Chains A and B, each alone.
Chain A
Amino acid sequence: DTGVSQNPRHKITKRGQNVTFRCDPISEHNRLYWYRQTLGQGPEFLTYFQNEAQLEKSRLLSDRFSAERPKGSFSTLEIQRTEQGDSAMYLCASSLATGSGANVLTFGAGSRLTVL
C-alpha cells in the first residue's frame, strides 16, 4: 500500500482556467476527504465521501468547485473559472470509518494550486 496519492503535486494556471486534481486513497478506506490549506493556516474541511456518496459539503465549497468519487475509489476535485483566491494546497485524506468509533485520517502530500 502506497498511502494516499495526489496528482498533480503542483499546478500553475491562469485566472479563469479550469483545473482538476485527483486523489487515490488507501484501497480499503471507505471515506475520502478534501481539505484546503492556505499559507499559515491549518487545513479547512471542504467535503467528504463515504464510498461514492458525497455526504457533506462545507460552505467554503462554492459553485465553482465540484468533487466526485464515481466508483467509490479515486476522487477528483475540479475548480472552474479559477480565481487568485483559489491559490492553496488541496489535501486529500482517507479513512476507514465504521459509523462509530475512531476515524483516523491519513493524508496525501497535497496538490498545490497557483493561480496567476
Chain B
Amino acid sequence: AQSVTQPDIHITVSEGASLELRCNYSYGATPYLFWYVQSPGQGLQLLLKYFSGDTLVQGIKGFEAEFKRSQSSFNLRKPSVHWSDAAEYFCAVVGGAYNNNDMRFGAGTRLTVKP
C-alpha cells in the first residue's frame, strides 16, 4: 500500500527566509501527489497537486513543489515565507488514475515563522 513520510515534525524559519518541506512517498507506480495546509482548528486547504507532465508545479500562496521520481520525493518550497504561512502542512498521495479512492497523508510538518 502507498505511504507518505514527512521527516520533519516541526520547522522554524524567519519571515522572509526560504522554505523547503520534505515529503517522500512509497508506491509502485507514479501516484498522484498533493500538498495541503491546515490552520489551527480548521480543515485542510489544497495548496497544489501533481498528476503528470511538468515535474515542477505551482500552487496557491506562492508555493511550488517538485516531483522527483528517482528520489520518490515531492518537496514543497516557497522562496520567501510570510508570517501567515505558519500552519501545519500535509503531503498526501493517491495511487494514480485508476486507484484514486484512498488518499494517504503524512504525519504533517508544523511550520513556525519567526518575526
Q: Point out residues on A near B: beta carbons under 8 Å.
A: 4, 6, 33, 40-45, 48, 55-56, 91, 93, 97, 100-110, 112
Total A-B residue contacts, Cβ distance less than 8 Å: 64
Chain B, interface residues (CB within 8 Å), range: 20 to 34
Q: Select from chain A the residue with minimum beta-carbon distance to B100.
A: A103
- A55-B101 contact, Cβ under 8 Å, with A107-B44, A110-B43: yes
**Contact, CB under 8 Å: A103 / B105:** no
Given contacts A102-B32, A102-B49, A103-B94, contact A45 B43 (CB under 8 A): no
B46 touches A42 (CB 8 A): no
Q: Is the CB of B32 within 8 A of A42?
A: no
Cβ contacts A to B, 17 pairs, < 8 Å: A33-B103, A40-B108, A42-B4, A42-B92, A44-B105, A56-B102, A97-B100, A102-B51, A103-B32, A103-B101, A104-B46, A105-B46, A107-B36, A107-B45, A108-B43, A109-B41, A109-B42
In the A-B complex, list the 5 residue pairs whose CB atoms are closest, starting with the nearest.
A42-B105, A103-B100, A107-B43, A107-B44, A109-B43
**Given A109-B42, A109-B43, A41-B103 contact (CB < 8 Å):** no
Q: Is the CB of B103 within 8 A of A105?
A: yes
